[in-house]
Structure 1
Amino acid sequence: MRLLHTSDWHLGRSFHRAGLLDAQKAFIDHLVTVVREHEVDAVLVAGDVYDRAVPPLAAVELFDDALHRLAELGVPTVMISGNHDSARRLGVGAGLIGTAGVHLRTDPSGCATPVLLSDAHGDVACYGLPYLEPALVKDQLGVTKTGHEAVVAAAMDRVRADLATRPEGTRSVVLAHAFVTGGEPSDSERDITVGGVAAVPAGVFDGVDYAALGHLHGCQTITERVRYSGSPLAYSFSEADHRKSIWLVDLGPRGEITAERIDCPVPRPLARIRGRLEDLLEDERLERHTGSWVEATLTDPTRPAEPMTRLGARFPHTISLVFEPERAPEDPAASYARRLEGRSDQQIAEDFVAHVRGSGPDESERSVLRQAFDDVRTEEALAG
């Protein structure tokens, strides 16, 4: 069986101030072409279909167009909700849409009810695990410990229990939206840390033939059977070196896996340039970036006049400007953003407490801060 694995469309998102709707339309055209020309048997979409819980109308129209075109091909599509999606909104009409061959899985209670696909070698049970916000689903899944690993493991226990009731030789696929240990994140993914722990070990997915993952925006192989497709478009300059693609996965009669990457259309290349303004304007080696979206990091000791206007004259698609003046590391004027780089919300809050009163929080205070961040994330998920 030939599967096409994609995720993280983020319909409705822009790239800094540049609109991406046309690029997202081009990706949908590309997806439909690949399905048709490569004789795909099923399409797997592993979450974050939209960029936010209430997407703009143009994004909803594009999604509607994608569903109609996939249904017209007669190729089953299995799709789960991600942490950016509103599960309730995305899942509206799921039963009716399912009769057209587009199977939306947005309710955690249905994680052990597979979409049954079949080929000449028998059945393939395809399970959809929507994004599982621990605080919201732990009771539903019978979990006492809050955390991503606990809820995903509980959902996978249900999947394996159902799979054990299927005829011998039934192959299995799971779609999941999670941060799996070993994955490489980028700047454009929303933090899903709960209780200080976001990562889920790849071993949670043991027992199934293929795990089609979403959430991380870089295409990557965690194990032969556990893979991220990544986003089809770049959504931050941290993805400048990404090769955007989708996975074409062949599932053999005994669960053998072979996978091929199919490149996605690139609307405009990304370039990150760094140096003093005059050097960037005069460096002939940078000529190749005149057609790229550019992020310029200026290292001038003092901020130069009209930097964006001057950069735009040479690099018309400069859309991000960063100032990192060259100063000694001990300079108190060193970039505040640089001091925060790589630190979690929890760590930043603990540092603030230490700065204000002269000593960091004790364990009980850390617990209060952790609970406060978890409550905010839970409220955001409920608002979706």
Structure 2
Amino acid sequence: MKFGHIGDLHIGKRVHDFSMLEDQRYILDQMIKIFEEQKVDGVLIAGDVYDKTVPSAEAVQLFDEFITGLAKAEIPVYMISGNHDSAERLSFGAKLFENSDIYISQVYDGEMKRIVLKDQYGPISVYLLPFLKPAAVRHALQRDDINTYEEGVMAALQECEIDTTQRNVLVAHQFVTGADRSDSEETWVGGLDNVSAEVFKDFDYVALGHIHRPQKMGRETLRYSGTPLKYSFSEADHKKSVTIVELLEKGNVRVSTVPLIPRRDMRKLRGTYMDVTAKDHYTAENKMDYLQITLTDEEDVPGALQKLRTVYPNLMRLEYDNKRTRENREVQAVEAQEQKSELELFEEFYELLNNEPMKEEQTEFVEKLIQDLKEVRV
């Protein structure tokens, strides 16, 4: 059985006040064509369908077009909510949609939705695990021993009683420890949202969402599909793609990717004003890309943003890198360091030494120790 794995669509997103809706429409249409060409048996959508919990009418309409396109192509959908989605809104009409082979995770109530499929190798169970916070699992399972994201996900999966002799697929939206993040992702201080890859060991394939760079997590079959578009300039070097997963007999999973070609790329340019405006520096096509331009002129160019946009209409961000700005950054860095608390400085030092953030219990211990020392000093 063959699946397409996508996630983090963030429909309705604005980047530096530029609407991405038309770019999203273009890439969603491209994905439908890829799924048809690949003859997939279903599409796994790993959360963050929308960019906001209350999406705009235009965003909802665009996603409706996408889902309708998949339904017309007779491609089933297995979808979960992410941390940017409202689980209640996304799952509206879920029972009705199942008549069209569109399966959506419900608000977590202690049970995960499970869909059983069959092919020539036997049954495949597809589990839908929406984005979970520890408090939601603690409430649903009536347990007071769940305090971390990892404990919450482990408890939710333990309730499933997974048959590991058969093939199992999980669609989830969590941050697996070690994943390479981007600026456009929502993060928790100190890595408190970390979940170990070992938590997902019972699944033949795990379709992950939440991280914007496509990547595997230790094994080929534990993967983030990444966003279909670049949503920050920290992603300028990303190669966006659709993940294709083929499950054969138990233990045999093939994973490949199909590149996505955006309507407009997102790039960084650097040089003097004369350099970046020279005609041999751009083409009719790439000057329409979304750009961050860093000017290296020692003196600011009056009206540079407006002037550059006559050449590059989709210039999103203009920066300077010269002696003045470097000195300002150094001063700001010192001021920022001086404003940090003792705990924040210790956390940075710990992570530098150990290449991992402090655990919650370690943070609590150090916080108490600092407080005790302050009291002794007084």
- Structure 2 residue 206 is the aligned partner of structure 1 residue 211: yes
User: What residue ranges of structure 2 are gaps of 5+ in the alignment?
Assistant: 346-363, 372-378
CA distance in 2, matches of 1:237, 1:177: 23
What secondary structure does 2:261 align onto? coil
Say which is worse superposed, 246-255 or 61-70, in terms of deviation. Answer: 61-70
CA distance in 2, matches of 1:267, 1:101: 30
CA distance in 2, matches of 1:338, 1:278: 33
Q: Report if the CA contact (8 A) 1:327-1:334 is conserved.
A: no
Picking from 229, 234, 244, the partner of 2:230 is: 234
| 1:69 Cα deviation from its structure 2 partner | 2.4
Say which is worse superposed, 210-219 or 251-260, in terms of deviation. Answer: 251-260
- Structure 2 residue 174 is the aligned partner of structure 1 residue 178: yes
Q: Percent identity?
A: 35
Q: Report if the CA contact (8 A) 2:272-2:297 is conserved.
A: yes
- Structure 2 residue 308 is the aligned partner of structure 1 residue 304: no
Shift of the 148–353 alpha-carbon distance from structure 1 to 2, 3 Å rule, reads: closer
- Structure 2 residue 341 is the aligned partner of structure 1 residue 350: yes
What secondary structure does 2:237 align onto? coil
| 1:298 Cα deviation from its structure 2 partner | 3.0
Match of 2:288 in 1: 291
Structure 2 residue identity aligned to 1:13 = K
CA distance in 2, matches of 1:366, 1:291: 53
- 1:49-85 CA deviation, whole Å, 9 max, x = no partner? 0010110101111122222222233332110000000
User: What residue ranges of structure 1 are gaps of 5+ in the alignment?
Assistant: 355-360, 368-384
| 1:277 Cα deviation from its structure 2 partner | 3.1
Match of 1:382 in 2: none
- What TM-score, normalized by structure 1, do the two folds share? 0.81
Match of 1:357 in 2: none
- Structure 2 residue 262 is the aligned partner of structure 1 residue 249: no
CA distance in 2, matches of 1:276, 1:242: 26
Superposition pairs for residues 1-384 of structure 1, below 5 Å? 1-109=1-109, 111-141=111-141, 142=143, 144-159=145-160, 161=161, 163-164=162-163, 169-191=165-187, 193=188, 196-222=191-217, 223-282=219-278, 284-285=280-281, 289-327=286-324, 331=327, 334=330, 336=332, 350=341, 363-364=367-368
Q: Report if the CA contact (8 A) 2:113-2:129 is conserved.
A: no
| 1:255 Cα deviation from its structure 2 partner | 3.3
Q: Report if the CA contact (8 A) 1:79-1:128 is conserved.
A: yes
Shift of the 60–289 alpha-carbon distance from structure 1 to 2, 3 Å rule, reads: closer
Please provide the CA RMSD for this pair: 3.0
| 1:31 Cα deviation from its structure 2 partner | 2.3
What secondary structure does 2:159 align onto? helix
Q: Report if the CA contact (8 A) 2:105-2:112 is conserved.
A: no
Shift of the 196–34 alpha-carbon distance from structure 1 to 2, 3 Å rule, reads: closer
Shift of the 238–338 alpha-carbon distance from structure 1 to 2, 3 Å rule, reads: farther
Match of 1:378 in 2: none
- What TM-score, normalized by structure 2, do the two folds share? 0.83
- 1:244-263 CA deviation, whole Å, 9 max, x = no partner? 11111101111311111112
Structure 1 residue identity aligned to 2:301 = P
Shift of the 143–73 alpha-carbon distance from structure 1 to 2, 3 Å rule, reads: farther
| 1:123 Cα deviation from its structure 2 partner | 0.9
CA distance in 1, matches of 2:97, 2:55: 19
Q: Report if the CA contact (8 A) 1:324-1:335 is conserved.
A: no
| 1:339 Cα deviation from its structure 2 partner | 7.7
Residues paired across the two proteins, number: 349
Shift of the 103–333 alpha-carbon distance from structure 1 to 2, 3 Å rule, reads: closer
CA distance in 2, matches of 1:10, 1:131: 15
Shift of the 291–335 alpha-carbon distance from structure 1 to 2, 3 Å rule, reads: farther
